[in-house]
A = this chain, B = another copy of it.
């Protein structure tokens, strides 16, 4: 019987395992999991730390028992130490420190990512956290519960930084968010980032932008955070959330080729350069459907898709990962911010000639109670009229995230912006308008083209 071995028990690894068993219920599948938390939704950690989720066990996409029931063998608290592509074995060490060789016919690497360590002094001080794993989350939770810190500094105002800012403020901490760039959430344009900053301030948070944090130092019982332009603040804890980098050391030492972000090079079949070794998830370079090149864009939804392809192809399938569209969504307090495709600057960098138009409108007919203003920024190619991307912001009940998915589905088909007006989108006054905001934005763009 064919033995499929998977390194990594998070989104990519478990998706590969599930897909393999779905394609061939007779295949022998084992997953090496470094900790005791297979298939946990680490995306949910901020909501556990905020107190919105009472029990961290609920963060499991599936319980270990459910995975076992699918016929998948979990090697929990096993660390993969070495891959021998010639002998087709992986050396693992278990919790007791005992080492052994696990053979494979096909291997899927899903080792994920680790937090980036920015050039800041004092990152290793007690009270400074770089959150990534369930263990990291539980460590922070223990600190919050035992010491009851009253203030926090978040370094980095990306997705995780903002979700954690929301979470800690919700717990009652005084929160200061510090961002290197001139606006928060730089995955969207500054006009939308400004609205996010307003939302943070409306909830009592301090926000400092254009600040390069240089050092964290113990100052009595507090941590002092200092940065460019004379920035200085103190807090009980500091969370550094300045992005992640791929964890590809193990793969690289086995001769698996990595690219310029240090991520594993794969093709759209999720094959590496090493025979019988696939890779997927936050440890790999990701094909971009629009840019038609590889990028590094680690996201849980992408890891699921790539893992599914890797699992199918490890069993001889012909699946192909179609590529990311750069779709992302985040909720910060009552706002949802979502994007898909290319922003203006990203399109320019790709040698396109973009035009971006922003509109403000209501999520549904304003006469019906509960209408919320929302903004849509739509980017298209001036020459061809083709849709390149969209960014939306609005209330969490304004169906922002699935409106961005309408744009994503359009991008998947390389649609022209004007053609969006031809699509029979749903309308009922409590939820939309006869021309959905997606189409209002399309019409505004066409008028400006």
Chain A interfacial positions (CB closer than 8 Å to B): 11, 22, 41, 43-44, 47, 52-53, 58-59, 61, 289, 299-305, 308, 321-331, 336, 338, 340, 365-369, 396-397, 399, 401-406, 408-410, 412-413, 415, 419, 421-432, 434-436, 438, 447
Contact = CB atoms under 8 A, between A and B. Distances in A.
Nearest to A396: B430
Contact of A329 (B61, B305, B406, B428): B428
Nearest to A419: B322
B47 A300 contact: no
Contact of A369 (B52, B303, B365, B436): B52
Interface centre among A22, A404, A422 (most CB of B within 10 A): A422
B44 A367 contact: yes
Nearest to A11: B434
Contacts of A327: 424-426
Contact of A401 (B289, B304, B426): B426
Nearest to A435: B304
A413 B422 CA distance: 11
Given A396-B430, A430-B396, A365 B422 contact: no
Contact of A406 (B11, B325, B367, B405): B405
8 contacts: A43-B429, A301-B424, A304-B434, A325-B423, A397-B397, A404-B426, A409-B410, A412-B424
B423 A401 contact: no
A45 to B, nearest CB: 10
Contacts of A447: 22
Nearest to A326: B424
A428 B52 contact: no
A426 B340 contact: yes
B22 A429 contact: no
A297 to B, nearest CB: 10
